[in-house]
Structure 1
Amino acid sequence: MSTFVAALPMYDWPEARGEVDAQWARLRDAFRQRGVDAPEAVARSNRELPAVPGGILDAAGRLIAPDPATLPAHEFDFCQLWLSPALLFGQTCWGPMELGLAQHVQVIAQPNYDAFEGGQGELYSSALVMPADGGPSVASPQDGKAIIPIGLLRGKRFTFNSPDSMSGLIGLTRDLEAMGESLDIFASRGESGGHRSSIVAIAEGRADIAAIDCESWALAQRFEPAAQGVKVVGWTARRKGLPYITARTSPAPIVAAMREAVAAVEGGASEQPLVQLVG
């Protein structure tokens, strides 16, 4: 039994779990073929994270997170996953990375977003969604620059998935600042807890505007009925997508083997690689 833990939680919607499991199976087998002791399945709850008596420490011996065994077993704390010394393979967002996570992990590769409107290579953007009014949605710009309809946004109720989200909050904040504006254009701001919840809140009239990353927006159009009640009115600028990561303590040979495996599995026979290797 592997002593490592792996998870792909960022797009692990209930309806898409079969696809996520299949993605992990391909990666797991490729890792094992290269001598990496990859776990059989991805983790989806705190109970599946290895206990760390005394809590998780950083490189200097400072406590940075509690023992996962002390957390609600049925919940899944992504921060605990990312900081786990047993993390073999996971995925995070550049928001948490910029806010301090980067010093505790190693980046393996960047996924490719060519399959999604709003994505190009390792870059992705967020769709700005508002209540549907019968009009057409705004298409993602070819040049990847931001389309921010200030007039539509001003005075509206903004909802975002989490304060550390690049796609849901930080990216839009930076695009507004580049225009000489700020989040103060909104009448109110509130945290929804997830991109899907933001879409539902808008469809139900509890919010007016949200920024939804392009892959989550694609999932919503497949699986979330409330997506029919909203439309795209703009796009944030393209930025680096969600990186694959491993613990800072993962040995260099294992990291190198995983990079090779990810490139082989997710690159396939495509003319353009589906991952951007890092390191």
Structure 2
Amino acid sequence: MSDFVAALPMYDWPEMRSEVDAQWARLRDAFRQKGIDAPQTIARFNADLRPVEGGIRDAAGKVIAPDPATLPPGELDFHGLWLHPALLFAQTCWGPMETGLSEHVQVIGQPSYDAFEGGQGELYSSAIVMRAGEAPSIGSPADGSPLIPLDILRGKHFTFNSLDSMSGIVGLTRDLEALGESLEIFSERSESGGHRASIVAIAEGRADIAAIDCLSLALAQRFEPAAEAVAVVGWTRRRKGLPFITARSTPEKIVVALREAVAALA
């Protein structure tokens, strides 16, 4: 059994489990060909993570995350995963990276978003969505520039997946600031807990506006019936998509091999 931990939690919707497992199988086999003892399967729950007695600590010995064994076994604490000392490979968001996670991990690479409207190579943008029929639908700008419909957004209830999400709130905040505006443009703001939940909230009339990264929107259009009730009315600027990471303690030789394997699969 491998001593490492791996996970691909960011787009691991229930309907996507087989596709995510297949993605990991390709990565795992490529890593093993490089001599890396990659785990057979990915972690999906706290119970899948190795216990860390006394909690997860940084290089100075400060506890930065609880022992996974003390957390609800049927849930997954993202920060506990990302900060786990045995982390070989996972995907995160640049929001958490900018707020301290980058000090504890190493970036391995970036996936391609070429297959999705709003994506180009390692860059992606978020679709600004609201209920269908309330504003004209619009395609993604070819040059990746932001398209922020201020008149449409003003006075609306904005919902977002989490406060540290680049795609759900941070990117939009920066685009608004570039236009001399802020989140105060909205009459109300609420945290939904996930991009899918934001789409459902809009479809059900519990919110008006959300920023949904282009890949999550594509998944919703495949699997979430509520997506039929929303339309794209704007786009955020293209930014780097979700990075692949490994623990800060992963040896340099393994980091180099991981990067080579990911690049070869791109």
SS of residue paired to 1:28:
helix
SS of residue paired to 1:111:
coil
| Percent of aligned positions that are identical | 74
Residues in 1 aligned to 2:39 and 2:190: alpha-carbon distance in whole angstroms: 38
The alpha-carbon distance between structure 1 residues 134 and 98, as it changes in their structure 2 partners (threshold 3 A), is closer
CA RMSD, Structure 1 to Structure 2 (Å):
0.9
Q: Which amino acid aligns with 1:202?
A: I
1:13-162, aligned counterparts within 5 Å? 13-133=13-133, 137-162=137-162
Residues in 2 aligned to 1:235 and 1:181: alpha-carbon distance in whole angstroms: 16
The Cα of 1:264 is off from its aligned counterpart by 1.6
Aligned pair count reads 266
Aligned to 1:206: 206
| Alpha-carbon contact 2:167-2:211 (below 8 Å) kept | yes
SS of residue paired to 2:253:
helix
Aligned to 2:193: 193
Residues in 1 aligned to 2:206 and 2:83: alpha-carbon distance in whole angstroms: 34
Q: Which amino acid aligns with 1:110?
A: Q
Residues in 1 aligned to 2:60 and 2:249: alpha-carbon distance in whole angstroms: 13
Aligned to 2:227: 227
Structure 2: segments with no counterpart, 5+ residues: none
1:238 aligns with 2:211: no
Structure 1: segments with no counterpart, 5+ residues: 268-279
Aligned to 1:167: 167
SS of residue paired to 2:211:
strand
The Cα of 1:61 is off from its aligned counterpart by 1.1
SS of residue paired to 2:15:
helix
Residues in 2 aligned to 1:230 and 1:9: alpha-carbon distance in whole angstroms: 25
1:264-275, aligned counterparts within 5 Å? 264-265=264-265, 267=266
| Alpha-carbon contact 2:135-2:233 (below 8 Å) kept | no
The Cα of 1:134 is off from its aligned counterpart by 7.5
The Cα of 1:214 is off from its aligned counterpart by 0.4
The Cα of 1:136 is off from its aligned counterpart by 5.1
Residues in 2 aligned to 1:55 and 1:81: alpha-carbon distance in whole angstroms: 12
The Cα of 1:213 is off from its aligned counterpart by 0.3
Q: Which amino acid aligns with 2:42?
A: V
Residues in 2 aligned to 1:166 and 1:77: alpha-carbon distance in whole angstroms: 18
The Cα of 1:22 is off from its aligned counterpart by 0.3
Residues in 2 aligned to 1:66 and 1:43: alpha-carbon distance in whole angstroms: 17
SS of residue paired to 2:64:
strand
Aligned to 1:216: 216
Residues in 2 aligned to 1:173 and 1:118: alpha-carbon distance in whole angstroms: 18
Residues in 2 aligned to 1:262 and 1:177: alpha-carbon distance in whole angstroms: 35
Deviation track 1:35-79 (CA, whole Å, cap 9, x = no partner) reads: 100000111000001100011110111111111100000011111
The Cα of 1:137 is off from its aligned counterpart by 2.0
Deviation track 1:175-219 (CA, whole Å, cap 9, x = no partner) reads: 000000000010000000000000000000000000000000010
Residues in 2 aligned to 1:113 and 1:25: alpha-carbon distance in whole angstroms: 20
Residues in 1 aligned to 2:158 and 2:113: alpha-carbon distance in whole angstroms: 26
Q: Which amino acid aligns with 1:54?
A: G
Residues in 1 aligned to 2:9 and 2:66: alpha-carbon distance in whole angstroms: 20
Question: Which 4+ residue blocks in structure 1 deviate beyond 6 angstroms?
Answer: none
The Cα of 1:135 is off from its aligned counterpart by 6.4
Q: Which amino acid aligns with 1:36?
A: I
Aligned to 1:12: 12
Residues in 2 aligned to 1:112 and 1:4: alpha-carbon distance in whole angstroms: 25
Q: How high is the TM-score relative to the length of structure 2? A: 0.99
